[in-house]
Chain A
């Protein structure tokens, strides 16, 4: 199969199908409705099931049911809809059920706008629902990267028995780029011997449940979850370094904003400012290593986000006071321009030289 010209939302859907996802439950919301529409058309073609639920709350509970049966299942929404799903996501975590959840973020809070945003970073990376938990979060910057990350997301979900987020913004969902779907070897994954597919005289009933009334039992379960998170932190960190080797200054940005920042960095280098970029691809686990490796040599960091300042907190934790961490953000659906970011880089470097 050669290259095709697709919208980000369509790529997410098609990449899920390529990753073996045959079940989708969701509810339309701008700016991710094309994903829902694409799945409605595509899943019946591969013998799968698409169901438009009566609400986001219903959709995430349908995901719980399908995941319990051991199939690859996905849901998607945009910010307000993902908020509605939080209770169900916490249940998925508690019952250790694998699923992939897409958030194509729009401006908030509340109903906000339908324009792109990155203001659900806290919700995704700090446990948006109740209870002590983390969810692996991946943030693609290009449509081609979505193809790989969707496969990773389903594999990680199955390997660790956890929900996984793909976090994009409205721009990523709506833009068009050529993409290629290449087949890759299936990962070696543990058998889903816990799935509630019936017993055949081979043991007791199989139950997926997040209710544990005995506090001692629930604490043990929490310890087990925390051990799992330690493993994920060890194994599933992803990031990209761009021109960081000789950098005096480092821009930190993820998703589409990193593409705008890249152009600003090129312009800054033309002006003689040695600037590079760390692009977190996994937002949780947050890539700390590239900061440990650069914080002694660079002069300062600049985090750029389409938010009032969320990822910048993780950047500050990783830099740990070694160097100043500046922030530039736009909110409400406004997108930072190359010129804005360049001006911030120049300011960080001490003004025009």
Chain B
């Protein structure tokens, strides 16, 4: 598996943390590449979508591809036609933030004929503390459904198991254990475990044994 493809597609269960991971990945890509685009393909969530941090992307120099203006705050199932520009211009590094579950991934399916010939990987984000993906069976079922509607194959799992601000090292380890079992059953590698950077000290030992990507949180509530 190519661990650093030009196009990274982030899928997963609803509320598994795809948007936070996508924003972080776009920041990392921007450190190495001139042209980076993040595609907000979320037609499921009405709030807390990557388009909400557009001012941050502008500051970073990352291009946001999402419905604009009044349509940005609508709950219409629309995607931006501009996505083709970054598919075809091979100078772009692309992160695609897909909506949750098979319903969100359905919006991805329309690009199958474009994507299949490009340098891409599709990741599946796991948070075992979410309902319906807390077991190996739940993860496998969601992966299967997303593959059917997107017509693309998941190439790796990302363990993003967390309990929001109450996340403990135990939660991360338990999540890793279940993701590991799912990884064996599905014959897919675990790309890494994503951990909120405020837990950097507590997770030093875990990070020695496992691939870890520390991420920052961008979707904040008005009292945070």
On A, residues with C-beta under 8 Å from B are 3-7, 10, 14, 30-31, 34, 38, 41, 113-115, 170-171, 174-178, 256, 259-260, 262-263, 335-338
Contact = CB atoms under 8 A, between A and B. Distances in A.
Given A171-B47, A174-B45, A335-B222, A7 B73 contact: no
DSSP class of B's interface residues: helix, strand, loop or mixed?
loop
Interface string B158-173: 0000111110000000
B46 interface: yes
B166 A174 contact: no
A262 B224 CA distance: 11
Contact of B73 (A14, A114, A175): A114
Contacts of B134: 4
Interface stretch (B54-62, B88-96, B125-133, B200-208): B125-133
Contacts of A10: 131
Given A3-B166, A178-B166, 17 more contacts: A3-B129, A4-B129, A4-B130, A4-B163, A5-B130, A31-B47, A34-B14, A41-B132, A170-B46, A171-B221, A175-B48, A177-B164, A178-B163, A256-B223, A259-B222, A260-B223, A338-B222
A206 B164 CA distance: 50
Contacts of A337: 222
Contacts of A34: 14
A151 B180 CA distance: 37
Nearest to B223: A259
A157 B129 CA distance: 32
Given A5-B15, A30-B46, A170-B46, A178 B164 contact: yes
Nearest to A258: B223
Given A114-B46, A174-B45, A5 B223 contact: no
A335 B223 CA distance: 11
A174 B222 contact: no
B142 to A, nearest CB: 12
A292 B127 CA distance: 48
A5 B46 contact: no
Contacts of B166: 3, 178
Nearest to B103: A37
B73 A113 contact: yes
Contacts of B221: 171, 175, 256, 259
A335 B192 CA distance: 36
A115 B73 contact: yes
A7 B129 CA distance: 12
A14 B131 contact: yes
Interface in B18-40: none
Interface string B101-140: 0000000000000000000000000010111101000000
Nearest to A336: B222
A170 B47 contact: yes
Contacts of A41: 132
B46 A4 contact: no
Contact of B163 (A5, A174, A256, A259): A5
Interface in B45-104: 45-48, 73-75
Given A262-B223, A263-B223, A176 B164 contact: yes
A180 to B, nearest CB: 10
Contacts of B131: 4, 6, 10, 14, 38
A174 B73 CA distance: 14
A7 B163 CA distance: 12
What 4 A-B pairs come out closest when comparing CB atoms? Answer: A30-B75, A174-B47, A259-B223, A178-B163
B171 to A, nearest CB: 9
B129 A338 contact: no
5 contacts: A10-B131, A114-B73, A115-B47, A256-B221, A337-B222
Interface in B159-200: 162-166
Given A31-B47, A174-B48, A176-B164, A5 B222 contact: no
Contacts of B15: 5-7, 176
Contacts of B222: 171, 256, 259-260, 335-338
Most buried by B among A41, A114, A170: A114
Nearest to B162: A5
B160 to A, nearest CB: 10
B190 to A, nearest CB: 20
Contacts of B47: 31, 115, 170-171, 174
Nearest to A41: B132
A114 B49 CA distance: 14
Contact of B74 (A38, A114, A260, A262): A114
Contact of B129 (A178, A256, A260, A336): A178
A257 to B, nearest CB: 9
